[in-house]
Structure 1
Amino acid sequence: MTEAPASLPAITLLIAAPRGFCAGVDRAIVIVERAIEKYGAPVYVRHEIVHNKFVVDSLKAKGAVFVEELDQVPDGVPVVFSAHGVPKAVPAKAESRGLDYLDATCPLVSKVHRQAERQVEAGRHILFIGHRGHPEVVGTFGQVPSGTMTLIETVEDAEAFSPADPDGLAFLTQTTLSVDDTAAIVAALQRRFPAITAPKGEDICYATSNRQTAVKAIAAQCDAVYVIGAPNSSNSLRLVEVSEREGTPARLIQRADEIDFEWLATVRTLGLTAGASAPEILVREVVTRIGERYQVEERQVETARETIAFKLPRGLETR
């Protein structure tokens, strides 16, 4: 970090831990990198591999080509499916075209997919708690026949839902939701439908929960919080909401050049965290930029240690 002159104002940075990359994001990025090494460029990726422009641009520079639909992938080149998961129709279409594909779906999202299949096989209608249009929601709905799943976005949705068979319901959730908001929706569903089947274990992933807990830990001690992440990153947006719910103003930024120093004019203690698809290099970039205007005292506040790692697909394990 650049040494700031003594005349600069002081600021304390409380940096949340855990923050940044989770195991699923790390695995997805490595899958694209290894695929480029194995097959050579270009390797096509359907949808942003993770929701972060810096990561996407870095992979583009290495030979990845990002597209929204499989129709945009030429014949004869490999394609990677993003960490958010895809409907079953997508790999089926890839196979019908003879495309080599690699599935970078986070294993924790895949776990939700399998649970959805099992609940439908058991004859239950699924209430899926999530955000309309998010790629993970689209992918999960695409695992089961149309009409077997209903999206629930709010407590109001939970209160309004009218099932054909109140005793034949199950619920599942998107992995990147607000822990507190989801608990309120689940409570409403369980009150209205006591027989509803809950998922085995928690659907909201460990990384989402851990990052929200870490933000809660720093927010109470801060005047403001910056969350590094993309505006289309569900887990990053939830971190902003968690801070604000604790009574601490928060903003989402993607890079250091988005820092609003006027907003920081009265801030003496600033919280800093990063969503699960934001690399640590962006955290350090923000700290360095703040250090150009302030004398920075940097403290890390650790609430959990993450040791989870996921295996790579067969054929990509070793270089």
Structure 2
Amino acid sequence: MSAAAKPPLRVLLCAPRGFCAGVVRAIDAVERALEIYGPPVYVRHEIVHNKYVVEGLKAKGAIFVEELSEIPATTTAPVIFSAHGVPKSVPAEAAALNFFAIDATCPLVTKVHREATLHNKRGREVVLIGHAGHPEVIGTMGQLPSGAVALVETAEQARVFTPRDPASLAYTTQTTLSIDDTAEIVAILQQRFPAMVSPHKEDICYATTNRQEAVKKVAGEVDAMIVVGAPNSSNSQRLREAAERQGCGLSVLLQRASEIDWEKFGAISTLAVTAGASAPEVLVEEIIDAFAERYAVKVETVHTVQEDVFFPLPRQLRPDIADTSANSAAE
């Protein structure tokens, strides 16, 4: 299609978008382990929820498993836990098997684990606001004995939740939830249980918050919103929902440009694009390039906040310590 024949399309590119500090740290942990120890490096669960990232790491020598039992018992290769965190039973199992375990749990998820553990030690029942079955929720609930954590997923559940002792209650949340949904659930619980202890600092992470705020800023101005991310990525799904709530007529979650349903986008003149915290920028560029083949695209970046968060690598992978560990492994 010639440039003259292409219909105009204004693309608003949300900023911030894409990788957060926890995801960068987790991916870097796998790549650094591969550099130091060579392949294979075993990773329990997807290191982050993005197929493109996972396939790229597989090509470099990472082997992804769901359970430690899938790893050869005699291996001396590193075994990395994903950014989502794991139940306490997993590091214990790794230690029993004498695996060289490296924990790439996002520090902001670790913060939630510590909060839940502290509340439990102080005799409080812990309410965890989150989505059943999500790896982060499984990991957080797995920090405490069975029955010590009550999972609340919706406002409806918050209205009927019955604690063991309303005077001894605390809440934590999954880090990748909808800000608005979570605020509603918390408000209901606080009204019902005024003595409930809150986190010292919001559990929903900075990246989730910032990406949702960026989407809210532009969603009402555009005909369509594309969120680049995986279907099993909680923070990506929340971005799509946030756009819908702000009145965006078409809000879709896509992993790659090949998934674009061009019939849906035929009549648009404005499009917003963002990416979940585990989606690499190359996929954002791929989708914009696909639109540029059909439209006369003009891209504008819409900034909300500047992110400068950095998390250091897990201790075993930092240069001074990793060199010692690698030498020990070779001896």
Q: Which residue of structure 2 lines up, in the alignment, with residue 309 of structure 1?
A: 310
C-alpha distance after superposition, 1:52-91 (max 9, x if no partner): 0000000000000001001001122221000000001001
1-structure distance, mates of 2:2, 2:318: 44
Post-superposition offset of 1:303: 0.4
Q: How does 1:190-269 map to 2 (within 5 A)?
A: 190-248=190-248, 249-269=250-270
Residue number in structure 2 paired with 1:86: 86
Structure 1: give runs of 5+ residues left out of the alignment: none
Greater helix proportion = 2
Secondary structure, aligned partner of 2:315: coil
Aligned 8 A contact 1:70 1:94 in 2: yes
1:164 and 1:49 map into 2 onto residues whose CA distance is 36
Aligned-residue Cα RMSD (Å) equals: 1.1
Query: Residue deviations 1:181-226, cap 9 Å, x none?
Result: 0000000000000000001100000000000000001101101100
Contact 2:10 2:299 in 1 (8 A): yes
Aligned partners of 2:168 and 2:146: how far apart in 1? 17
The number of residues matched between the two structures is 317
| Structure 2, gaps ≥5 residues long | 323-331
Distance in structure 1 (CA, Å) of the matches to 2:78 and 2:57: 15
Structure 1 length-normalised TM: 0.98
Distance 1:247 1:4 in 2: 33
Distance across 1 between alignment mates of 2:197 and 2:123: 12
Structure 1 letter corresponding to 2:17: R
8 Å CA contact retained: 1:228, 1:282: yes
Kept in 1: contact 2:130–2:151 (CA 8 A)? yes
Distance (Å, rounded) in 1 between the aligned partners of 2:214 and 2:143? 33
Please give the alpha-carbon distance, in whole angstroms, between the structure 1 residues aligned to 2:267 and 2:131. Answer: 35
Partners in 1 of 2:318 and 2:188 — Cα distance?
A: 44
Alignment partner of 1:27 is 2:25 = yes
- Does the 8 Å contact 2:235/2:277 carry over to 1? yes
Q: Distance in 2 between matches of 1:271 and 1:262?
A: 17
Q: Does 1:17 align with 2:15?
A: yes
Q: 2:325 is matched with which residue?
A: none
Q: Distance in 1 between matches of 2:64 and 2:314?
A: 20
Q: Does 1:274 align with 2:279?
A: no
User: Which residues in structure 2 correspond to 1:1-319 (within 5 Å)?
Assistant: 5-75=3-73, 76=75, 77-248=77-248, 249-318=250-319
2:125 touches 2:164 (CA, 8 Å); kept in 1?
no
TM-score (norm: length of structure 2): 0.94
Cα deviation, residue 313, structure 1: 1.5
Letter in 1 for 2:305: A
Q: Give aligned-pair identity as a percent.
A: 59
Deviating beyond 2 angstroms after TM superposition, the runs of 4 or more aligned structure 1 residues are none
